[in-house]
Amino acid sequence: MSLTTPTFPSRLPNVGTTIFTVMSALAAKHSAINLGQGFPDFSCDPDLIQMVNDAMLANHNQYPPMIGIEELRQGITQKLANLHGHQYHPDHEITITAGGTQAILTAVLSCVSPGDEVIIIEPAYDSYRPSIELAGGIPVAISLEVQRDDSGFVQSYQIPWVDLENAINTKTRLLIINTPNNPTGIVWTNSDLERLAHIIRDSNALILSDEVYEHMVFDGANHCSISSHPELVERSFVISSFGKTYHVTGWKVGYVAAPQAMMSEFRKVHQFNVFTVNSPMQYGIARYLNNPMHYLELPRFYQAKRDFFRQGLAETEFKLLPTPGTYFQCVDYSGLKNWQSNLNEEDFCIWLTTEIGVAAIPVSAFYQDKTESKVIRFCFAKKESTLSEAVKRLQGI
């Protein structure tokens, strides 16, 4: 008599295979250029590889401290002080994480209890909602305001201040913000932080600020971190990613900064979640971080790619949305003069991948209810030759 596998209720009954996995697999199957998933197709700096290799040869191959090696925590502390003027304590307020996504989950688990409400602003990174649900929290989604021009094309996205203020109540435990924003590219300003401080001041809500694209802000603007605001910083987890900054997304190394009381709770979860993070990578990144130009030059590097890609897309029938930050370009396809413009976003992306040979991501995938605006997202963190070929194919539509 054979044994049957016991059944059990799903902790995430509404979660299936992500659209990123689906589109990347489809791109591989059809030999399409993958501008869907957000990772570079070029190599990182060989000096960084050498520094990690040196760390391995120096026998930094065993467990590092649970909170991260001292050299890296001190480097992050100095960087944040230089850029944003806030002095975190490297021993009590900085923790190294296995990428930004782990940092998000751990932060949510550390402060959200069953029944607590957590506000997210859609379109939103797809890990936010599952993290909240795993903690037993209640996601409260509000949507960015979609601005349209006189022809009905999506022109930009704006922070929904009235909806945000109305969503905050005595049950609100956490508000998750993302600047620069994935997928829309919008960037919060100092005046936005002031307005946020005003509406959250009399609440008990904490903030999780996802800033993994912090060094991808363009056109001479500065990244306005929660760390720079003396009031908000006292109730915020601030999360970033070396994978995004140094073109090594597969290394999965990030960090979180937070006040000591909040970090103490974060570390309680962190030690039983991943315990600690890849040792030689930490040593290599710590050395590499000593040269600020490795991140200070990133806006110029990615703005050149953005401008090159936008110049090519300008010769298509796509309507380009502004891209003040991140390495993503959103476009409205509703003006295409063919029947495909009537497709919903997911079906359009499937057609684009299988028939045109360029993979993109539907922005509707970043909404729980799959809100449709006929807007899709391309990633321009690619070699110029990759972008050039992708543009050539898109111009043929």
pLDDT beyond 70 at 73: yes
- For the record, the structure tokens of 267 come out as 């570390």
Q: Is 336 helix (H, G, I), strand (E, B) or coil?
A: coil
Which amino acid belongs to residue 239?
I
Long-range contacts of 339-345 (CB under 8 A, 24+ apart): 340/397, 341/374, 344/372, 345/372, 345/373, 345/374, 345/375, 345/376
Looking at the chain, the whole-number percentage of residues with pLDDT higher than 70 is: 99
**Average pLDDT estimate for 215-230:** 98
**Average pLDDT estimate for 137-159:** 96
Q: In what order do the strands lie in the sheet with 94-97?
A: 94-97, 254-257, 236-241, 206-210, 172-178, 117-122, 138-143
- For the record, the structure tokens of 188 come out as 């919060």
Please report the pLDDT score of residue 339 as a whole number.
87
Query: What is the tens place of the pLDDT at every residue in 154-187?
Result: 999 999 999 999 999 999 999 999 999 999 999 9
**Average pLDDT estimate for 97-118:** 98
Residue spans in the chain of domains classed CATH 3.90.1150.10: 19-44+298-395
> d(Cα 68, Cα 96) in Å, to the nearest integer?
5
Place of tokens 């120096």: 58
Q: Which residues contact 288 (CB under 8 A, 6 or more apart)?
A: 45, 47, 48, 51, 246, 294
Task: Quote the distance between the C-alpha of residue 373 and its chain's center.
Answer: 21
> d(Cα 31, Cα 284) in Å, to the nearest integer?
35
Query: What is the tens place of the pLDDT at every residue in 355-379?
Result: 999 999 999 999 999 999 999 999 9
Please report the pLDDT score of residue 256 as a whole number.
98
Please report the pLDDT score of residue 20 as a whole number.
87
Query: What is the tens place of the pLDDT at every residue in 237-279?
Result: 999 999 999 999 999 999 999 999 999 999 999 999 999 999 9
How many residues appear in the chain? Answer: 397
Q: What is the DSSP pairing of strand 172-178 with strand 154-158?
A: unpaired
Q: Which residues contact 119 (CB under 8 A, 6 or more apart)?
A: 140, 141, 142, 164, 167, 168, 172, 174, 175, 176, 205
Neighbours of 153 (CB within 10 A): 19
Which amino acid belongs to residue 50?
Q
pLDDT beyond 70 at 216: yes
pLDDT beyond 90 at 81: yes
Whether domain 19-44+298-395 has CATH 1.10.10.10: no
Please report the pLDDT score of residue 2 as a whole number.
66
Please report the pLDDT score of residue 15 as a whole number.
85
Across the chain, mean pLDDT equals 96
Task: Quote the distance between the C-alpha of residue 60 and its chain's center.
Answer: 29
Place of tokens 């380009």: 320
Please report the pLDDT score of residue 1 as a whole number.
57
Query: What is the tens place of the pLDDT at every residue in 1-22?
Result: 567 888 889 999 888 888 888 8
Residue spans in the chain of domains classed CATH 3.40.640.10: 47-295
> What would the 3-class secondary structure string for 239-261 be?
EEEHHHHCCCHHHCCEEEECCHH
Q: What is the CATH number of domain 47-295?
A: 3.40.640.10
